[in-house]
Chains A and B, each alone.
Chain A
Amino acid sequence: MSERIVDARGSFCPGPLMELISNMKMMSVGDTLELLSTDAGSAADVPEWIKKVGHEMLDTKQDGEGTWHIRVRKAK
């Protein structure tokens, strides 16, 4: 099992969710990923996609500088 960090801060295109999807394609089942995003929309659209595909949400929090840290696990 491995853990990766994807720094998508300041990414408007392709944007945090597309970065997350691209990276999850490279991961193995059980691997985890932490997405860094400055887009408030990520806090909603990442869980929506994770749920729809059947992966696992682990944690979502915003730090003092406004960056969202969203942790997910590849489940399938």
Chain B
Amino acid sequence: MRVLVVGGGMGGTIFANLLARRIQHEMKTGKARITMLSASHEHVYQPGWLYVAMGRATPDELVREQESLLESGIEFHVDPVEEFHLAENHVKCKSGKVHEYDLIVISTGSRPLPEKIPGLKENSINCYTADDAVNFFKQLSDFKGGRVVVTVGLPHKCPMIPLELTFAMHDFIKDRGLLDKTEFYYTYPIGRVHSLENVAKWAAPEFDRMGIKYETLFNMKEVDGKNAEVLSEEGGAVKYDLLVAVPPHKGQEVIEKNGLGENGWIPTHRASLHMEGEHGKNVIILGDTTNLPISKAGSTAHFEAETAAENVAAVIKIGRPVRSYDGKVFCFIEAGKDRATYAMFDYQNPPQPKAPTGAVHAFKMAYNKLYWASARGLL
């Protein structure tokens, strides 16, 4: 079986490594082959941008050579796919090279698009790229007091980031002795401070305790940079001195251009993770690229990749898949510079977050280093 993995992010990498380890014999005997195509030679640990924004990490700490993370035997090419020909079981890359497959895994991720909201890109800071995270730190470091407004677009990657940024900035400003000159104003699209009801029930009293003000049912419509004001679809208007954005996201342009899914999200079966539609039988979708109504997060991609790798190995060995994806997600929630909690949930069970502790924060800091073992499929 020729398995083609498109995308060298968390989902594609964990999938490829786990599968390679399960089908070592088949790969050695030429019965199976894994090829990965990526747009970059680098693999980035994206959750680390939060720490860059707070001056607690530098971008180089978050990057490894993609090839160094892959099991031996996985063929790797930096050559982004430009055309998907799913009916003919092949893709065409930027170089012009054509790759045929028996099974394709598409895990191309998502991208922030602050330019979708008029005025947002030029008047706000965010931490979704290395440059943006460094700029975030510089602007936060230069901040001398005033109103910090957090504004959140939909959909977005990393559902915990609005809370994490707010808590982290609070501690950052507090450590600089500027808390009495600073007002934090958090806005959120739905009628509570987080999408997860139990997380919102924990976070709102934390905000109250820290003096962080909040406004819910606030979906940013545009930013008026001249008057330093963010306007909402609901008719709200909030003045800011420093605007911190969680921009709306889309899937990759190549997905849209090939007509695989509106806004770059591919219709995906929630249990099998196969693409919906007539050509989905040998097409698996992982991570942010799915249109599933679950968190766009590395953790989601990780657990989906585990399920998919086990199933593909089983198909190769016994002719049929063995597991369904149950919607499992596990997200750490940094609750400031030295405390954290977590949310674990699936399609059936909501999370029950505990009070944040230093121990969970220490575990998160350790995980930031252990991630590279996770990407290799070892953790």
Contact = CB atoms under 8 A, between A and B. Distances in A.
A14 B155 contact: yes
Nearest to A19: B293
* Interface SS, B side: loop
Interface of A: 6-19, 21-22, 25-26, 41, 45, 48-49, 52-53
15 contacts: A7-B270, A9-B293, A9-B347, A10-B327, A14-B154, A14-B155, A14-B195, A15-B190, A18-B154, A22-B154, A45-B190, A49-B191, A49-B217, A52-B217, A52-B234
B123 interface: no
Given A12-B196, A45-B190, A21 B217 contact: no
Contacts of A48: 191, 217
A6 B293 CA distance: 9
A16 B217 CA distance: 14
B253 interface: no
A49 B189 CA distance: 9
Contact of A41 (B154, B197, B235, B270): B197
Contacts of B348: 10
Contact of A17 (B159, B190, B343): B190
B233 A53 contact: yes
Nearest to B329: A13
A13 B327 contact: no
B211 to A, nearest CB: 26
A68 B352 CA distance: 24
Interface of B: 154-155, 159, 189-191, 195-197, 217, 219, 233-235, 248, 262-263, 270, 293-295, 327, 329, 343, 345, 347-348, 350-351
B293 A26 contact: no
Contact of A26 (B190, B196, B262, B343): B262
Contacts of A16: 293
B159 A14 contact: yes
Contact of B196 (A9, A10, A13, A53): A13
A2 B343 CA distance: 37
A13 B159 contact: yes
B262 A12 contact: no
A10 B190 CA distance: 18
Nearest to A15: B195
Nearest to A52: B234
Query: Sorted from nearest, which 6 A-B pairs have the closest CB atoms?
Result: A10-B347, A11-B293, A8-B293, A15-B195, A22-B155, A22-B154
Contacts of A49: 190-191, 217, 234
B191 A14 contact: no
